[in-house]
C-alpha cells in the first residue's frame, strides 16, 4: 500500500539476472614489429583509433625493441605516448597500476576507442591489465607478451593482478583483453634463464594433460633452451619442437580455461605446480623466477604422487630428468621445509574455499584431485626433495627416451590428519582429467 505516494508497508525484493558473452582472441603472427604488419595497430572491433593510445613497455623491451616499436607507430601514423616500467615481481605493485592510470588520464584515454598496448613480460602484462580493468571501471587493452612464460601462460589467461602484503597476486581482477598478439621471434633475444622459466610452465601443462608435449620436452629440452624455441638447427627446423611446444601449451591452457574462465569451479588441473610454489616464490624473491618455482612444485607434487603409488619410479625419474633437461633445478631448500610447505598448502586451501583440491598426477598426462594430503606426507616428500638438492640443472641430456633417469629415494609410509581437514577419512576425492 502506498503512503503519500512514497512508502510501502512491505519489504521489496528484486533479482537481476543477466549474461555477457566474453570473446577474446590470441593471434599468432610473424614480424609483428614490421611497419607493414597491421596487427599491432589494429583495434579489436575493426574501427580506427579515436585518439592517442598509451604504449607501456618494460625496460628490457625498450632496450631491445624500443626503436622498432617507435618506428612502427610513426610509419603507420598512429598517435601514441610511451611509458616504460621496470620488470620483475618486486615491481608488481599497486603503485605501478596507479602510475599507468595516471598516464591514461594525462593523455585523455577514451572509454573504448584508445585501448592501451602492453608490450613486455608477464609482470608488465599483469599491471597493465589491472590498470585497464580499473580505469573508468574497465577499458579494453591489447596484450603483446614478449617472454615465453607470458606467451604460453599469462597471455592466454583472463586474470590480472599484483602482489600484496607478501602474497603473490593477492589483489587482482578478471579482465581478458580483446586481443593478444603472439610473435615467437620476440623471445629469440631472451636470456636462457627466462626461456627455462617459461618451459617450466610448458612442463606443467605436459604433466597434467599432454603426454605428447612431455615427450617433445623430454627429447628436445636442451635444444629448446639453446635455440630459444626458434627451431634454427638442421634437426629442429624439420621437427619444429619449438613450434609444437608453443602451440600445444597455448592450446592446452585455452582448452582448460574456456569452460571455467572465472574459476567458479575451484578444482582446476592448471593449478598443478601452483599449490606450494606461490609462498615459496615470494619468500625467495628475487632469487626464483616464476617458472623455476612452478617446476619445483611440479616435482614435489610428483614425489607426493609417487609415494601414494600413483606414479611409478620410472615415471618420477622421467619427471625429474625432464626438469633437469630444460635446465631447471628440481629442488630448493625451501621445498625441504615441511612447515613452510604446510603453510603454503594452508593458504591454498583458503583460496580453494576450505578444500585442498590438490592436483596430483596419476601417470604422465593424467591427474586426479585429492583432499586428504597429510602433514606426514609433506614431511616425507620434503625429505626426498632434500636429496634432490644435489641434482643439478642440465644433469641429463634428456635427448632420448632410453636414457637413464634420476632416481628419487623412496620414503617410508606414515599417516596423520590431512592438512585443512583434520577429520578426513583418508579417501581420495578424484576427478579424472585424461
CATH number of 176's domain: 3.40.50.1970
Give residue for cell 624500443. 66
Identify whether residues 40 and 180 lie together within a single domain.
yes
Give CA–CA dist 7/1, Å, rounded: 8
User: Is the model more confident about 387 or about 397?
Assistant: 387
Give CA–CA dist 27/35, Å, rounded: 17
Residue 8 confidence (pLDDT): 62
Identify whether residues 274 and 165 lie together within a single domain.
no
Catalytic residue among 50, 52, 92, 159: 159
Identify whether residues 164 and 268 lie together within a single domain.
no
Residue 44 confidence (pLDDT): 83
Identify whether residues 285 and 151 lie together within a single domain.
no
Domain that holds residue 57: 25-189
Give residue for cell 607507430. 73
Residue 47 confidence (pLDDT): 76
Instruction: Decide which of 172, 189, 206 is a domain's last residue.
Output: 189
Residue 49 confidence (pLDDT): 78
Threshold 0.75, pTM exceeds: yes
Q: How confident is the model at residue 394 (pLDDT cuts 50, 70, 90)?
A: confident
CB atoms under 10 Å from CB of 309, counted, come to 8
Identify whether residues 306 and 172 lie together within a single domain.
no
Share of the chain above pLDDT 90, in %: 83
With the C-alpha atoms ordered 320, 386, 301, 173, is the resulting torsion angle positive or negative?
Answer: negative
Number of domains observed in the structure of the chain? 2
Residue 329's domain is classified under what CATH number? 1.20.1090.10
Q: Quick check: 371 pLDDT over 90?
A: yes
Question: Which residues, listed in sequence order, are joined to residue 58 by a DSSP beta bridge?
Answer: 85
**92 is a catalytic site residue:** no
Average pLDDT, rounded, for the chain: 90
Amino acid at each position: 500500500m502506498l503512503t503519500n505516494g512514497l512508502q510501502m508497508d512491505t519489504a521489496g525484493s528484486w533479482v537481476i539476472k543477466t549474461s555477457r558473452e566474453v570473446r577474446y582472441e590470441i593471434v599468432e603472427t610473424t614480424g609483428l614489429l614490421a611497419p607493414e604488419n597491421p596487427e599491432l595497430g589494429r583495434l579489436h572491433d575493426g574501427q580506427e583509433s579515436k585518439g592517442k593510445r598509451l604504449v607501456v613497455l618494460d625496460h628490457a623491451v625498450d632496450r631491445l625493441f624500443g626503436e622498432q616499436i617507435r618506428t612502427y607507430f610513426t610509419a603507420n601514423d598512429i598517435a601514441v605516448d610511451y611509458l616504460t616500467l621496470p620488470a620483475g615481481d618486486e615491481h608488481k605493485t599497486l603503485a605501478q597500476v596507479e602510475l599507468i592510470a595516471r598516464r591514461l588520464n594525462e593523455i585523455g584515454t577514451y572509454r573504448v576507442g584508445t585501448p592501451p598496448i602492453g608490450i613486455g613480460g608477464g609482470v608488465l602484462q599483469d599491471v597493465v591489465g589491472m590498470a585497464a580493468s580499473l580505469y573508468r571501471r574497465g577499458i579494453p587493452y591489447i596484450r603483446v607478451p614478449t617472454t615465453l612464460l607470458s606467451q604460453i601462460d599469462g597471455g592466454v589467461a583472463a586474470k590480472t593482478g599484483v602482489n600484496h602484503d607478501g602474497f603473490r597476486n593477492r589483489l587482482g581482477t578478471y579482465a581478458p583483453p580483446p586481443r593478444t598478439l603472439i610473435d615467437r621471434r620476440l623471445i629469440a633475444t631472451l636470456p636462457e634463464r627466462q626461456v627455462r622459466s617459461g618451459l617450466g610452465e610448458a612442463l606443467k601443462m605436459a604433466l597434467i594433460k599432454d603426454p605428447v608435449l612431455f615427450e617433445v620436452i623430454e627429447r628436445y629440452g636442451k635444444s629448446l633452451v639453446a635455440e630459444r624455441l626458434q627451431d634454427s638447427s638442421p634437426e629442429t627446423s624439420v621437427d619444429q619442437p619449438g613450434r609444437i611446444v608453443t602451440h600445444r601449451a597455448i592450446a592446452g591452457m585455452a582448452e582448460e580455461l574456456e569452460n571455467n574462465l572465472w574459476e567458479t569451479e575451484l578444482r582446476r588441473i592448471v593449478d598443478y605446480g601452483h599449490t606450494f610454489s606461490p609462498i615459496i616464490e615470494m619468500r625467495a624473491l628475487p632469487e626464483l623466477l616464476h617458472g623455476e618455482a612452478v617446476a619445483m612444485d611440479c616435482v614435489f607434487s610428483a614425489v607426493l604422487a609417487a609415494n601414494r603409488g600413483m606414479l611409478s619410479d620410472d615415471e618420477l625419474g622421467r619427471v625429474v630428468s625432464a626438469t633437469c633437461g630444460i635446465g631447471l633445478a628440481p629442488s630448493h631448500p625451501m621445498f625441504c621445509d615441511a612447515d613452510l610447505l604446510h603453510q603454503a598448502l594452508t593458504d591454498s586451501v583458503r583460496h580453494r574455499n576450505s578444500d585442498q583440491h590438490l592436483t596430483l598426477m596419476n601417470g604422465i598426462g593424467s591427474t586426479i584431485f585429492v583432499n586428504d594430503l597429510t602433514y606426514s606426507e609433506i614431511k616425507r616428500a620434503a625429505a626426498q626433495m632434500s636429496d634432490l638438492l644435489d641434482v643439478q640443472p642440465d644433469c641429463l641430456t634428456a635427448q632420448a627416451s632410453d636414457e637413464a633417469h634420476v632416481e628419487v629415494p623412496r620414503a617410508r609410509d606414515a599417516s596423520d590428519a590431512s592438512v585443512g581437514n583434520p577429520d578426513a577419512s583418508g579417501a581420495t576425492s578424484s576427478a579424472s582429467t585424461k
